[in-house]
Structures are given as C-alpha cells and as structure tokens.
Structure 1
Amino acid sequence: MSKYYLFQDVKKCIGCSTCEIQCKNNKELPPGPRLCQIIQVGPKFIGEVPRASFIFMSCFHCENPWCVAACPTGAMQQRSRDGIVFVDKDLCVGCKTCISACPWGAPQWNQNTGKVEKCDYCKDRLDQGLEPACVSTCTTNCLKFGRVEDMTQIRRERHAKYIASLENSAF
C-alpha cells in the first residue's frame, strides 16, 4: 500500500482545473491524457440555489495494483519503499493492457509517444522533497498530500470541526 495519500477537501474545491493544467505542464503531456482530473457532480438544486461539487480523481496507488499485475513487460511497477505505482517508459510497448486492467481509468494513453502515462504522485518532485505539482498549485488549498497517517488526522480534524459547527448552530 502506498504510504502516501492525496486528500481533497471537496467543500473548498471550485473546479478551476489548475491541478489538471499544472499536471499536464509538469509531465509535458499533449491533449488527451489526464493523469488527474476534476469531475463535476451536479448542478443540483439545494432549496432554490443550484450547487455543484467537484471531485478530484487520480491514481489510487493500490496495495495490489491490477495494472502492475496485467503489464506483460514489467513497465508498470510499484516502488517497494513507498508503494507509488509508475510506468517505466523504457519498458512500455504500448499494449494498453494496464489501461484495461485498471477499474479507475488511471493509466492513460499518450498518442504522441505511443505509451501509457499515469499519475505517479510526481515521484521526481517527491524525491526532491517537493509536493506533487497538482497540490503545489491548488488555488484553494483543497488538495493535501502526505503520509497516510497525517492525512487521516487532517480528515478527522476537518470532520470534528464540521460536527462542532452543527452543534453550535443548534443553539
């Protein structure tokens, strides 16, 4: 399992797609592959007001990734030290088996290179002590990245504040 987790505070996301744009810039991707993407849910009416939510989707870096198991050349790999799943482009032959194997659509086809791309949490940046590109440019700071245990604590604190706000508004 990946020791890292990328958390999105859905309540803060405005759907600006800065994360997608920065990801494409960082990875020098052409139109087509989207290693992370913002999915709009809604709008739906809450009372008389239309509301939409924006969900950030990227690779989940599964504990037992199907894409790695399906890859016939060993191009799709998982780092043993942190569980990050990535593509070794020198080994990728473009067979797209990993794309078919992933239930989340994380591996994406790059027609310019004839190879597969996928989110690798910007492992080159992580190895330099930096955050993934999508997190570093999030305009509302709704994306957080870190160790699983730290992100779990952030989620707990966020939920506790929400519960407290409900209790305070009841008085």
Structure 2
Amino acid sequence: MIKDEQYGFYVDATKCTGCKACHVACKDRKDLPLGVTWRRVYEYGGGSVTESNDGTFAQNVFAYYSSIGCNHCSDPVCVKACPTGAMFKRTGDGIVQITENLCIACEACARACPYDAPQIDNDRKVMTKCDGCSDRLEEGKNTICVEACPMRVLDFDTMTALVEKYGEGDSHMAPLPPESITTPNLIVKAPRDAQPAGGGTGQILNDNEV
C-alpha cells in the first residue's frame, strides 16, 4: 500500500556485481524498446600502474558498479523543463511520472535531467521514464528492480523507512551528479574506492544497450 510520504531508492554499491538483473527486469516489465533503459548498471573505473626506479610497481586502480534510475527528486529539473506539464510529481508519494497524452516529445526533460532518467520512445514519439512501479506498490509489492536483484543491492520505500533501516548513507559518488542539482530521493552506500559525485578520476567502462 502506498503511503502518504515521499518514496525513494536505496543502493548498496558495495554489493553490486554488475549482473544487470535489475536493468533487464525493468525493461521486461514494460517491454521497453531497444535503447530505452529506465534502470542502468554502470561500471565506473580508473587509476593507473606506475613503475618505480627500483623495479617495483604501485597501483591505484579501482572499479565499482552503480545501479542508476530515476530518483523521484524533491526538486525535479525534468518537471521544471517540461513546457506542457506532462512531467509531474505526484502528490502522496512524490513519484515523478509522465502524462503521455500531454507529451510532445520535445526531450526538454531529458536534456535537463542529470540522471538520464527521461528517455524518448521513438516509435511512439513520447517520453518515458521509471514510474516507480506504482501499480505494484498499490498491490503491496516492491518495485521489480528491487525484487530482481540477487544481491539485495536495492530497496524502495518511503524515505523515512529507508533512513530507519539504513541510516543517512554516504555522499553520492561518480558517475552520479552532485546531489545539489535535484535533491534526489536516494540513499547510497558507497564502495571503498568511490570517487566524488560529479567528478572523480575514472570513466564509465560499459554501455547499457539492451
């Protein structure tokens, strides 16, 4: 049952193995077309190996995975950017959704969102995004990405409940943007080698074309 409170995600990046079960389950639930991926798993890595004068080697190589989707932000820039009001934040649960018959597929929301959450369905000429599995929540189920994860990396609940279960979490990490842009409803447990959000010395090592 959906509660009258802001919902959000928890991500434990220390346990993510990059299996993309969440990614695939999300696509399968809505039969999303090629190129539209509401939840994506990125591998982020970098560092180097250097040789010293005495022939020994030192390294600072790192890599970790991050599952990223819409964070149903408290200050959603996608909603602000939408010229028709198609993109909106629901009352009661704070889930950001799209009224498709108002959407003109201008992609302003996609250009504004730093999480790449809104994505265009070119066949239907409409913007799409994570809907928080609101139909499943009404049935007392969790989101499909949470249930699909074999490592229990993800959770979705009210932000109050998530804080009670996991605490305030760590600072957000690359490849996530700085939290100040949208005030995302996302709690992250960062891996040991996590790089700072919006910066870092690494790069995304994989694509998410499915």
Interval containing the TM-score (normalised by the shorter chain): 0.7 to 0.9
Q: Greater CA deviation, 11-20 or 63-72?
A: 63-72
Higher RCO structure (Cα 8 Å, ≥6 apart): 2
Q: 1:14 to 1:44 in 2, by over 3 A?
A: farther
Q: 1:60 to 1:157 in 2, by over 3 A?
A: closer
Alignment: residue pair count: 158
CA–CA distance in structure 2, aligned partners of residues 137 and 124 of structure 1:
17
Q: What's the CA shift string for 1:83-117, capped at 9, x where partnerless?
A: 10011112212111111222222111111211111
Task: Give matches, 1:63-102, under 5 Å.
Answer: 63-102=74-113
Deviation of 1:51 (Å): 5.3
The aligned residue for residue 156 of structure 1 is 167
Structure 2: unaligned runs, 5 residues or longer: 49-57, 171-210
The aligned residue for residue 116 of structure 1 is 127
SS at match of 2:93: coil
Contact conserved, 2:41 with 2:67, CA < 8 A, in 1?
yes
Structure 1: unaligned runs, 5 residues or longer: 160-171
Contact conserved, 1:35 with 1:58, CA < 8 A, in 2?
yes
Deviation of 1:20 (Å): 0.5
Deviation of 1:50 (Å): 6.6
SS at match of 2:44: strand
4+ aligned runs moved over 3 Å, structure 1:
47-51
Contact conserved, 1:43 with 1:53, CA < 8 A, in 2?
no
Supply the RMSD in Å over aligned alpha carbons. Answer: 2.4
The aligned residue for residue 23 of structure 2 is 20
Q: TM-score, normalised by structure 1?
A: 0.82
CA–CA distance in structure 2, aligned partners of residues 98 and 20 of structure 1:
21
Q: What's the CA shift string for 1:112-162, capped at 9, x where partnerless?
A: 211111112111211221111111111111111111122112323999xxx
CA–CA distance in structure 1, aligned partners of residues 121 and 77 of structure 2:
20
Contact conserved, 2:47 with 2:59, CA < 8 A, in 1?
no
Q: TM-score, normalised by structure 2?
A: 0.68
CA–CA distance in structure 2, aligned partners of residues 21 and 27 of structure 1:
10
